[in-house]
Structure 1
Amino acid sequence: MAKTKWTLDPAHSSVDFSVKHMMIANVKGSFTAFDAVIEADPKDLTTADISLTIDSASIDTKNEDRDNHLKSQDFFDVETYPKINFKATNIVKNGENEYSVTGDLTIKDTTKQETLAVEFEGTGIDPWGNTKAGFNVTGSISRNDYGLTWNSTLETGGVLVGDKIKISLDVQASKGE
């Protein structure tokens, strides 16, 4: 089957993350403004062209002070680096509807190769006759690899913010013309 252009449906998609706080709990957040370019046969992603752009200033952890700190030069420095980008470079089928997607992730001025797990959730027709496809994406990255190194040592030992960031995306896309 030929590649088809798919348009991201932001009302039915999400870009979420979690990170350890004080080494004992997880803080969760999301980015609320993002877009993707997807050209693919959803039943065989191995030849897909996929790129994702995230507005770094759209970070939302449900705490305004924390969000402002995350937007500052200590973390994302959104004034200088307004976008986070991911561009797939290699896609491997691991099993029925399961893939490993490797690509270039750019946060601030650093680009590193990262691999994410993608599960194709299927396709369906909405009440207006539009074909939709669903995908679940998971993985983790080291925030320190991207210069997001601000931290504070705890009196009890350890650090305030963990290094490992767990990533989860739920993507729904509409089949193009």
Structure 2
Amino acid sequence: MNTFLKTSVALGSLVLASSPLYAADYVIDTKNAHASIEFRISHLGIGLVTGRFNTFEGQFSYDPEQPNDSSVTVDIDTSSIDSNHAERDKHIRSGDFLDVKTFPTAKFVSTQYSDNGDGSASLTGDLTLHGVTKPVVLDVSKLGEGNDPWGGFRTGFEGSTEIKLKDFGIDYNLGPASETLYLNLSIEGVKQ
């Protein structure tokens, strides 16, 4: 083997070893309703208002051998908020809360995935909501992975976090019990 060929093989091996070659890319399966973004918030300190965002899309990259290289991006249509009450949803879409005409999309872009070694992890990222971008941390659990009946391969996760509405410029006064919004996400991704 000549020197040029040996050098080329060595460089190629180095590039392959140093790149995240084995990470798989997934598209979040919102088309078939195998994903959800749900929320809850206290109502007057007495009960809970719950709901969901019906329209969103995203993708993630995940390698079970190197989970800390994982990444995720999610775009949410803020006008798709659904609390099972039309008048309340109209108010939430207004300038008092989400102001969906001005801010039609919320976005999450991960910056770090820290695997705990037991199927759980912390996912840190930037959440843009109501025109404000702030770091948030989600507690994440891997739900499973495997082949589906349609010839694809899927991996699923769930995660939760809480945010202070005022941190995102949403300062409509609902009382001190209603300052925190709790988010729960369940995603199933289809390997590309």
TM (normalized to structure 1)? Answer: 0.91
- Corresponding residue of 1:156: none
2:110 and 2:176 mapped to 1: Cα distance? Answer: 32
- Corresponding residue of 2:25: 5
Corresponding residue SS for 1:46: helix
1:82 deviation in Å?
A: 0.4
Number of paired residues?
170
Return the structure number with greater relative CO, CA threshold 8 A, min gap 6. 1
Please give the per-residue CA displacement for 1:18-76, whole angstroms capped at 9, x wherever unaligned.
Answer: 00001111110100000112122145431012111100000000000000000000001
Percentage of identical aligned residues: 33
Q: Unaligned stretches of 5+ in structure 2?
A: 1-20
Amino acid at match of 2:95: Q
Which has the larger share of strand? 1
- Corresponding residue of 2:187: 171
- Corresponding residue of 2:90: 68
- Corresponding residue of 2:127: 105
Q: Find 2:152's aligned residue among 123, 127, 130.
A: 130
- Corresponding residue of 2:81: 59
2:62 maps to 1:40: yes
Which has the larger share of helix? 2
2:22 and 2:113 mapped to 1: Cα distance? Answer: 16
The 3 A distance-change label for structure 1 pair 20 and 44 is farther
Bigger Cα Rg: 2
The Cα RMSD (Å) is: 1.5
Q: Unaligned stretches of 5+ in structure 1?
A: 153-158
- Corresponding residue of 2:139: 117
- Corresponding residue of 1:155: none
Query: Where in structure 1 do 4 or more consecutive aligned residues deviate above 2 Å?
Result: 42-45
Amino acid at match of 2:185: L
1:122 deviation in Å?
A: 1.2
Q: Find 1:89's aligned residue among 111, 125, 131.
A: 111
2:52 and 2:124 mapped to 1: Cα distance? Answer: 22
Corresponding residue SS for 2:90: helix
1:61 and 1:42 mapped to 2: Cα distance? Answer: 36
Corresponding residue SS for 2:68: strand
Amino acid at match of 2:188: Q
TM (normalized to structure 2)? Answer: 0.84
- Is the 1:21–1:160 Cα contact (8 Å) retained in structure 2? no
Amino acid at match of 1:75: F
